[in-house]
Structure 1
Amino acid sequence: MAHQDNHAAHAVGFKDYLTGFILSVILTVIPFMLVMHPEVLGLSRGATLITVVLFGLVQVLVHLVYFLHMKTDAEGRWNVVSMIFTVLIIAFVVGLSVWIMWSMHYHMMIN
């Protein structure tokens, strides 16, 4: 019985990875084709840029859900909390570093 449960869990995991892979390929190919062949839809450069960025954001969500298993179950919620904490710490470190460098540049300029 335990062998069947393990096999079922493996099949569900493989199905999730395959779904994530297919979605990732689709979300990569569409923006690539928009950039390589802009005449197909006739989008402006700005609209193409916005479309590529939106497809990139959707692909980040696909990777978080299907590959990093950020889901709504109890274990997934802890993964989401730790991910948010990590992103906040990185944003603070990078943001404050840029602020310090800008401040040093501003205050050390010779007039």
Structure 2
Amino acid sequence: MSDAHASHDGGNHGSVKSYVIGLIFSLVLTIIPFWMVMSGGFSNMAVVVTISIMAILQVLVQLIMFMHLDFKTEDGWNAGSFIFTALILAILVGGSLWIMQNLHANMMLGG
């Protein structure tokens, strides 16, 4: 019996080894910012930058190791859907931050 699991369409899913490696990467990418916050020995900017970088890397690990996203299969549908999702997420997060910044600036004028 093989470690690889076949999907309904004949594709190949990850092996136990790839899942374990993904789990280890995920744990490390979670422990590093947690340690930085709990130790308290770093500037706020360093902590925010580290958390942001680790979050981006965490998303990539999840997509590649657990969801098996690659840019080679299915005639680019995986890549296209990933790029579309990233674009929508950037618009959503960027727009929310823009709105919150404008609200903060306008609320500070009155008081």
TM-score normalised by the shorter chain: which range applies? 0.5 to 0.7
Instruction: Show the counterpart of 2:10.
Output: none
Instruction: Show the counterpart of 1:72.
Output: 71
Instruction: Show the counterpart of 2:8.
Output: none
- With normalisation by structure 1, the TM-score equals 0.63
Give the CA RMSD over aligned residues: 3.0
- Asked if 1:9 is matched to 2:4, the reply is yes
After the TM superposition, list the runs of 4 or more consecutive aligned residues in structure 1 that deviate by more than 4 angstroms.
Answer: 89-95
- Tell me the number of residue pairs that the alignment of Structure 1 and Structure 2 aligns: 90
Counterpart contact for 1:70–1:76, Cα < 8 Å? no
Q: The residue matched to 1:35 in structure 2 has which SS?
A: helix
- With normalisation by structure 2, the TM-score equals 0.63
Moved more, 8-17 or 62-71: 8-17
Tell me the alpha carbon deviations over residues 44-97 of structure 1, each in whole angstroms, 9 at most, x when there is no partner.
1111111111111111111111011112332484212122234445666885xx
Highest RCO, 1 vs 2 (Cα 8 Å, sep ≥ 6): 1
Separation (CA, whole Å) in 2 of partners of 1:74 and 1:32? 36
Q: Return closer, same or farther for 1:38/1:75 CA change in 2, 3 Å cut-off.
A: farther
Q: The residue matched to 2:68 in structure 1 has which SS?
A: coil
Instruction: Show the counterpart of 2:24.
Output: 22
Structure label with greater radius of gyration: 1
Counterpart contact for 1:31–1:55, Cα < 8 Å? yes
Q: The residue matched to 1:69 in structure 2 has which SS?
A: coil
Residue 18 of structure 1 aligns with an amino acid whose one-letter code is V
Tell me the alpha carbon deviations over residues 2-36 of structure 1, each in whole angstroms, 9 at most, x when there is no partner.
xx5xx152495211111111100110011001001
Instruction: Show the counterpart of 1:51.
Output: 50
Give unmatched runs, 5+ long, in structure 1.
Answer: 100-111
